[in-house]
Amino acid sequence: MAFEIKKRIYDSLPASVQSLVGLVPFAWLAGQSYRRTMARGRFFETASRKDVRAYQERMLGAMLDFATSEVPAYRKHRSAVERLSPFEALKEFPPLNKEDVQRDFESYLPRTLRHIPHYEISTGGTSGDRLRLYVDDVSQSVETAFVHRVWSHVGYTPRARKATFRGVTFRDFPPDVYWQANPIYNELQFSPFHMSEKTLDLYARALIRYVPRYLHGYPSAIDYLASHMLQNAMSANMPSIRAVFLTSEACTPAQRQRIEQAFRTRVFPLYGHSERLILAVECEHAQVYHHVPDYGVLEIFAEDGTCCEEDGQRGELVGTGLLNRSMPLIRYRTGDYATRRAYACACGRNWDRFAELEGRWKQDMLLGKTGSRISITALNMHGSVLEHVGRFQYRQTEPGRCSLRVVPAVGFTDADVARIEEAYRAKVRDELDVVVEIVGSIPLTARGKLKAVVRE
């Protein structure tokens, strides 16, 4: 059963039944793929560099063999895969970007796709130009296992109490309650859509009562609360937080400093993306990212197209997935840039490392009715809600109201308008009215990029 169906069933359950589900050990709920991925992590924590690369080469060889046999876009590279070692064969594939896939989507799907259990997702769309993707049916369980593995570096377990600040769907709130329990992850989910100067005190006090061991969410949301706590001398009342896990947005040095000061702990940013090619987390010994080796193959391309192999060289992160057969992506350009670091690390892991990350993750904000600052990352629609939309852009001229300017794609109807507006209502409730505005085109910037938010 696809992850989306399972999630809908769980979300529809009464809170009392969800609590019973939460009593089941998470590893059993998540399934065999989760357990297998978790178990494999123990090997990579202590594996030598030689063993790490040998594993990657073996898995890369299998993926290249599959891709050149089954995926039309890659068939022309079959002879290279047959003649060369996997790492050498990989160099024969030209870099790929989102526009290449969008332009010829069907050619990147395996001819045996109907025999591979899968479901459709999309990139988050913070740029207003989404990419449809197919992922294996077990993808979410595997992804969760990888995240749990890297979080375990600072003691996290699936039963650890966690508070989250992310753009999930929220049930109807009672007055002055902007959070909900999610027993399956043993977490209290705080709405990032209702955070304002009028409500932040309620958030802080609820967090203190909850006594979490870890925080997880968008830097923009957690920093907003951290600033409030520092301004009102509330940090001393906060229980001991072991770590703050940040995701989906870039974290500025100023935000990092405020969050670590307010919660008296270390921040750990996680780098990943919907394409599921590169997953990296900061090391507990330094502000340097470790790329998880059994997740994908990491390359860094300099501006002249050469690979950055030496410590200190800087370029674009390029990833090749080792896991997803529903839509293999080989040498996919992420649009994010970083500096390569030598693999040797004080933690003892022999994984690829990079630092000084910069790229696409933005914190463009919309203003809610009560003055809340709503990150467009929190508004991301990862499912099929926008499947008939070519491009879109948020346009705001007054707090609490926003036009979603939409360029229709094939199949777009009035039903899509209703579905899109209802999906946004389910996320933000009455804090932000999102109205679909159909347009023929959306002007690009002088550099040909789509601006995600226009505020006037």
**431 lies in the same domain as 353:** no
User: What per-residue confidence (pLDDT) applies to 432?
Assistant: 92
User: What per-residue confidence (pLDDT) applies to 358?
Assistant: 81
**202 lies in the same domain as 272:** yes
Tell me, what CATH number does 428's domain have? 3.30.300.30
Q: What is the pTM of this model?
A: 0.81
pLDDT digits (tens, 9 = 90+) for 212-221: 999 999 888 8
Tell me, what CATH number does 149's domain have? 3.40.50.12780
Q: Which of 71-85, 121-135, 334-348, 399-413 has the lowest mean pLDDT?
A: 121-135
pLDDT digits (tens, 9 = 90+) for 48-106: 999 999 999 999 999 999 999 999 999 999 999 999 999 999 999 999 999 999 999 99
**397 lies in the same domain as 357:** no
Res. 445: pLDDT tops 60 = no
**Which tokens is 351 given?**
């994984």
**115 lies in the same domain as 234:** yes
Mean pLDDT of all residues belonging to the chain: 89
pLDDT category, 360, cuts 50, 70, 90? Answer: low
Cα 102 to Cα 392: distance, rounded to the nearest angstrom = 15
The residue from 298, 329, 362 where one domain ends is 362
User: What per-residue confidence (pLDDT) applies to 363?
Assistant: 58
**396 lies in the same domain as 275:** no
pLDDT digits (tens, 9 = 90+) for 195-210: 887 888 999 999 999 9
Angle of CA points 281, 287, 289, to nearest 5°:
30
Q: Is 99 left (phi over 0), alpha (psi -120 to 50) or beta?
A: alpha
**319 lies in the same domain as 415:** no
Tell which wins on pLDDT, 99 or 386.
Answer: 99
**260 lies in the same domain as 308:** yes
The residue from 329, 362, 395 where one domain ends is 362
Is residue 400 a contact partner of residue 194, using CB atoms and an 8 Å limit? no
Q: Residue 351 falls within a domain, yes or no? A: yes
**391 lies in the same domain as 343:** no
Q: Residue 76 falls within a domain, yes or no? A: no
Q: At what angle do helices 32-46 and 139-151 cross, to 10 degrees?
A: 40
Domain range for 197: 1-40+94-362
Q: What is the dihedral of CA 73, 76, 80, 83, to 10 degrees?
A: 120
Instruction: Specify the pairing of strand 389-398 against strand 401-408.
Output: antiparallel
Structurally, the chain folds into a number of domains equal to 2
Tell which wins on pLDDT, 352 or 191.
Answer: 352
**358 lies in the same domain as 389:** no
116-130, 238-252, 291-305, range with greatest mean pLDDT: 291-305
Q: Residue 183 falls within a domain, yes or no? A: yes
The residues, any chain, with a CB within 8 Å of residue 286's CB and separated by 6 or more, are: 345, 346
**254 lies in the same domain as 109:** yes
Instruction: Specify the pairing of strand 289-291 against strand 118-122.
Output: unpaired
Q: Which of 87-91, 164-168, 389-393, 423-427 has the lowest mean pLDDT?
A: 389-393
**DSSP track, 378-419:** TT---SSTTTTEEEEEEEEEETTEEEEEEEE-TT--HHHHHH
Q: Residue 68 falls within a domain, yes or no? A: no
Is residue 130 a contact partner of residue 122, using CB atoms and an 8 Å limit? yes
CA-based nearest residue to 351, from 40, 49, 55: 49
pLDDT digits (tens, 9 = 90+) for 228-275: 899 889 999 998 999 999 988 778 787 899 899 999 999 999 999 889
Q: Residue 378 falls within a domain, yes or no? A: no
**DSSP track, 278-302:** --EEE-SSSS-EEEPTTTEEEEEE-
**25 lies in the same domain as 143:** yes
Q: Residue 242 falls within a domain, yes or no? A: yes
Q: Residue 54 falls within a domain, yes or no? A: no
CA-based nearest residue to 73, from 91, 96, 57, 99: 96
| Coil, strand or helix at 197 | coil
Q: Which of 21-30, 119-128, 403-412 has the lowest mean pLDDT?
A: 119-128
**350 lies in the same domain as 430:** no
* Residues recorded for the chain: 456
User: What per-residue confidence (pLDDT) applies to 393?
Assistant: 85
